[in-house]
Structure 1
Amino acid sequence: MKNKTTIFRLSVLLVILLCGARPGTSQTIRYVKAIAEGAADGSSWSNASSDLQQAINNSTSGDEVWVAAGEYQQPIYNFFSMKEGVKILGGFPNSGNPTIADRTPLSGNTTILKGNQKSVIRNDNNGLTSTAVLDGFTITEGRPYGDAPPLENGGGIYNSEVSPTIRNCVFSNNSATYNGGGIFNNRSRPRIENCSFINNEARSTNGGGAADVYSMATYVNCYFSGNKARYYGGGYYAMASNSGTLYPAAVQLINCVLANNYATDNGGGIGIVGGGAAQFLSVINATIVGNTSGGAAQGIYLNNSGSTNLNVYNSIIYNNNTVLGTSSTMTQTNCLDGVDPLFATGYTLSAISPARNGGDNNFVPANISTDLAGNPRIMGTAVDIGAYEFDGALPVHFGTLNASVKNNSLHVEWTTESESNNDHFNIEISGDGQQFTNVATLQSKAGEGNSAALERYEWHSPITEWSQIFSLAMAPLFFLLVGSFLKRKKIMALLFSGLLAIVPACRKTTADLQESLKVFVRIQQVDKDGEATYSKVVQATIND
């Protein structure tokens, strides 16, 4: 009797482990294509819906909407809206049965959200937090004309009193009557990552690329170019509150390029106005170059009636200038202002750039691990100044890096395009993308550490060996435990027959597993002199 009770308890434990740590909840993925297929109910790619907004509306917190490459547009005078807790993911191929690993949101499989005489997306006090995610879209041709203020703001996206996460998006050719041609944030706290703002316009007022009014937004690895504003902030505009304690502004721009933007009045790159109490805005590792305006301030314009403080760290300000107005203060630390940064291609650094190793690591936020190009943010002893880290003289040029969990093993594969004086590689893994542990070492395949040819490396190990690093449902250990109690094969067969009938109904999807199991991987390269550099950080995909 005791053995039967033990077997029952262990059976329940196994079901809980396989179903995940969220009893009673399950994730649904809804599939959307530009042209509906099959039953058009969004239950699979073969039954994809063509109504993106309906798929979003039908979703609940924890669900995902997967959107295939193509163009999507609401009926005239309508707009899309996000939903709290729902991830909206673009960049999937529009044929076959693609998985999350097949997404290419910024390189092919372009997924376009197109405006129709309104903002492309309007999130108006609809309860969004950081768990509402928009990832992998081109947002274009938003034109909110004819709406009553403030709805004529935000050509691409209008956010009011919300805090969504927006990643891997391109805002292009949007315009607003007032503020924020690309995006407008009012009393909001969005996090915007890996996005480009290209050729957007604020026709009557401020912030051609983006505008934040009384907001606490964060922009990471973003690119602003070719944007225009009637008054201030061709690339970016912020307005601090006149009652600062009520709506404080604490905007951050990190690893951003603001180049070749224009403002008719002042602040072709950045324009900041307003403020009654102390407001703090930070620009960290930015490249602000070649912006123009019709007034005195081409690069940065800061003017207010209060005491707005702009802190600029590790940044390049070149071929445009800065003008401070009454009561305004700007602190520059470890910046190149007016000094030729000696760019290589675009706004990347040449080998002789004075920006190399010129920054202060203490100003790089702890959660920032890459630069605008996706390379490690700190490669040498000190961070480089500007949005890009110099990588032209690295002993190893990494090619691809892929990591996946399959068949209960962690698989890591990478290539090098060239190696010089290289000794070995250390494979490092993490459960949070911040604290890494060295788990294996592979020697260089290059003869004497030098190679100009493509070299391929791979490594795999049972995932259970590293369970102390990240959270895992330890199902394999459970099976061993059950085996010690089961003496007869007949009992074993009956138990697992029952389990097999239960588990499929609650089994997590691949996307669900990838959300709950976080495995981050990077490669440390060590040369023969003991110097080390790092690859980019990737998150392992989960394969059934």
Structure 2
Amino acid sequence: SVVTFQSNEPLTAELNGFTISGGTGTYLSAFDWTAGGGILCYSASPTIKNNKVIENTSENEGGGIACYYSSDQTIEGNTISYNSAGSTLSIGFGGGISVWSDNITIKNNTISDNSAGTNSTFGFGGGFQCASSTTGTIENNTIIGNSAGSSNTLGYGGGIACWDGSSLTIKGNIICDNSSGVLWICWPSIYYAFGGGIFLGDVPSNPPTKLINNTIAYNTVKFGYGGGIFLSFPESQIEITNSIFYKNSDYFGIGGQIAWWSGNPEPILTYCNYQLSSGVAPGAGNINEDPVFVDPSICDYHLQSTSPCIDVGNNNPVILTGLTTDIDGEDRIQNGTVDMGADEGGAPTLVELISFTAAGFRNRVAIEWETASEIDNAGFHIWRSRADNNSAEGEWIRVTEQLIPAKGGPTWGAEYTFVDRAVLPGHTCYYRLEDISYKGISTLHDPVLTRWK
């Protein structure tokens, strides 16, 4: 391991602001395996904060970080990426983070592109795994692009695996684009992969596992069940609220969002956007709509202002579990009612516009505008509509190829000019201004008319 804590270090001991890379783990004779490629915490509870834990490996467990027998440990604000666990013919636990017999808080981290069990028989928790009665909170993390298992190994929980009597409160996370591996045949037995996003196995009823305000989307199981979540023998019904389940998929196509063993307690879903081929999932406040993410192709799962997930959640679980901010650190409840998912989105960009004009001359139109102030504004686009028939607005076409960067701020404005050269004289055109927030939220301003000869 690059860094080890094995001397009962308390929470006040802090590893802050380092790059941890190239580690291969520490051999633990008590378990006869190797753990903690980047960082190993054994009977210690340091705070691990604001570090880059990247490109570490471990033969067995915790490619990035491994924690054993700690108490009240915090892992916060780190980038934990491109780590792997399980490089021998055994089991890989926790490509990014692995935790045993601990009480832990994992908050505001980016956990991406880690793998568990790539070259071993099984992989548990590509991004994070916990076992042996671990408790704690997984809050406001971005867990994207992790994998458990591979093209020829079995996987449980591409993003998160919580099992063996462990119980977590999982709230405010983006859990997207993770995957778990294929089936594994050891004749006469056949084993399947479970939980592209999350695998929950043998979780107890006390304390209960809860999922609140998570965005769980585009996760896959290559040959198995439960693209979003798989539940395996929970002691009681698991409560899931204010969450988005969208475009998760499994091989058999029967448990794309959530799957569980027949006869197991079914989950309780309330105030969730839960994708089905038709109808709405049972439970108060559930909907079945396109959540209107900003751009899933680049893993941007913020909500656009037109999202049906805005202002339709249930405030009580958010208040009771102390979820005060969203994935971006903004206030969790806005406009009086919490949104579904990890992002509290939808507030329009606050741009105070002083003027917006369009003047034609020969074969071009000069568009000018001035702002008094701009809050959360990334920039502008210009749209044009030909309106030759009775001056009625026609189809709108965006004429700016790239975003015009914002120059104003919360207490000052700016002046802007854009020249549209793709027009001909003798036509009537409307122009309108669109501002785009840093979350990708669009606000369109009133159009103006220009006519020239």
Q: TM-score, normalised by structure 2?
A: 0.62
What residue number does 1:221 align with? 172
% identical aligned pairs? 21
Q: What is the deviation of 1:135?
A: 4.3
Aligned counterparts of 2:99 and 2:170: Cα–Cα separation in 1: 15
Q: Choose which of 44, 62, 69 in structure 2 pairs with 1:84.
A: 44
Aligned counterparts of 1:175 and 1:322: Cα–Cα separation in 2: 36
Aligned counterparts of 2:19 and 2:337: Cα–Cα separation in 1: 41
**Is structure 2 residue 104 aligned with structure 1 residue 164?**
yes
Alignment of 1:259-338 (within 5 A): 259-263=217-221, 264-275=223-234, 277=235, 279-304=236-261, 306-318=263-275, 332-337=283-288
Q: What is the deviation of 1:370?
A: 1.8
What residue number does 2:309 align with? 355
What residue number does 1:525 align with? none
Distance 1:418 1:153, change over 3 A: closer
Distance 1:197 1:262, change over 3 A: same
What residue number does 2:148 align with? 202
Q: What letter corresponds to residue 316 of structure 1 in structure 2?
A: N
Alignment of 1:240-259 (within 5 A): 240=202, 248=206, 250-259=208-217
Q: What letter corresponds to residue 221 of structure 1 in structure 2?
A: G
Aligned counterparts of 2:291 and 2:241: Cα–Cα separation in 1: 16
Conserved? CA contact 1:155–1:180, under 8 Å: yes
Aligned counterparts of 2:57 and 2:175: Cα–Cα separation in 1: 20
**Is structure 2 residue 59 aligned with structure 1 residue 117?**
yes
Task: Provide the secondary structure at the position in 2 that maps to 1:365.
Answer: helix
Task: Provide the secondary structure at the position in 2 that maps to 1:138.
Answer: strand
Aligned counterparts of 2:326 and 2:376: Cα–Cα separation in 1: 22
Aligned counterparts of 2:130 and 2:92: Cα–Cα separation in 1: 12
* Structure 1 residue ranges without an equivalent (≥5): 1-50, 92-109, 324-329, 398-415, 421-451, 458-544
Aligned counterparts of 1:322 and 1:138: Cα–Cα separation in 2: 39
Aligned counterparts of 1:156 and 1:52: Cα–Cα separation in 2: 15
Conserved? CA contact 2:350–2:374, under 8 Å: no
Q: Choose which of 161, 179, 201 in structure 2 pairs with 1:211.
A: 161
* Structure 2 residue ranges without an equivalent (≥5): 27-33, 182-192, 353-372, 378-406, 413-453
Q: What is the deviation of 1:225?
A: 2.2
Q: What letter corresponds to residue 175 of structure 2 in structure 1?
A: F
Question: Moved runs in structure 1, 4+ residues, more than 6 A?
Answer: 319-323
Aligned length: 325
Task: Provide the secondary structure at the position in 2 that maps to 1:292.
Answer: coil
What residue number does 1:183 align with? 128
Distance 1:353 1:64, change over 3 A: closer
Distance 1:62 1:353, change over 3 A: closer
Distance 1:55 1:159, change over 3 A: closer
Q: Choose which of 329, 345, 364 in structure 1 pairs with 2:318.
A: 364
Q: What is the deviation of 1:380?
A: 0.9
Q: What is the deviation of 1:210?
A: 0.9
Aligned counterparts of 1:384 and 1:331: Cα–Cα separation in 2: 19
| Greater percentage in helix | 1
Conserved? CA contact 2:213–2:241, under 8 Å: yes
**384-393 vs 266-275, which deviates more?**
384-393
Aligned counterparts of 2:102 and 2:8: Cα–Cα separation in 1: 20
Q: What is the deviation of 1:396?
A: 7.7
Alignment of 1:121-132 (within 5 A): 121=64, 123=66, 126-132=68-74
Aligned counterparts of 2:167 and 2:316: Cα–Cα separation in 1: 22
C-alpha deviations, 1:195-221, integer Å up to 9, x for none? 222222222142111111132112233
Q: What is the deviation of 1:336?
A: 1.7
| Greater percentage in strand | 2
What residue number does 2:199 align with? 237
Aligned counterparts of 2:86 and 2:196: Cα–Cα separation in 1: 19
Q: What is the deviation of 1:112?
A: 2.4
Conserved? CA contact 2:141–2:327, under 8 Å: no
Task: Provide the secondary structure at the position in 1 that maps to 2:3.
Answer: helix
